[in-house]
A and B are shown apart, each in its own frame.
Chain A
């Protein structure tokens, strides 16, 4: 693989269910990010990780959790999904604060 992969591509989920979105990068980037994209709002940062073993909250962290056990993987978990979490989720990575972020293809999540 090259770049960032996300899984699943899309998912329909019942409200109240737990869901983990997967993100893997093979560029050995230190920093990784999760965004959600909603019409007219652009991308909003959910959580980020500057390096393996550390995470931080972004603009819209409520209802989401992340972990960063190693450099390559950065899963995003919805503990109990709600309809307002229906969105397209993008994972990204970068080498550092002044470098461009590389984006994965996205996961389209629908919560009913």
Chain B
């Protein structure tokens, strides 16, 4: 079964600094992309960014960007200029071949200090 690994249970960053959250996957199927979601304490999962498997350039979305290294099976999320509102749990997720099913990593709790 596909496994998604986020090795950092918690990360701390100073406001306005950049932070990188790690994510690796172990499936041999390279045809699927990868999603990142943010979950504030309220519980709602907020979509941040998606990297398609065949995209030649790393995805960017405002302050979010992905460092996608297909050969290493990693897709790390970079948040630039951190804000206090970025404090939340962050999940990476990858679809399987089956419809509508995402496999999630364990999550990383990010705390932004003023």
On whether the two chains bind one another, the answer is: no
Binding site for A on B (CB under 8 A): none
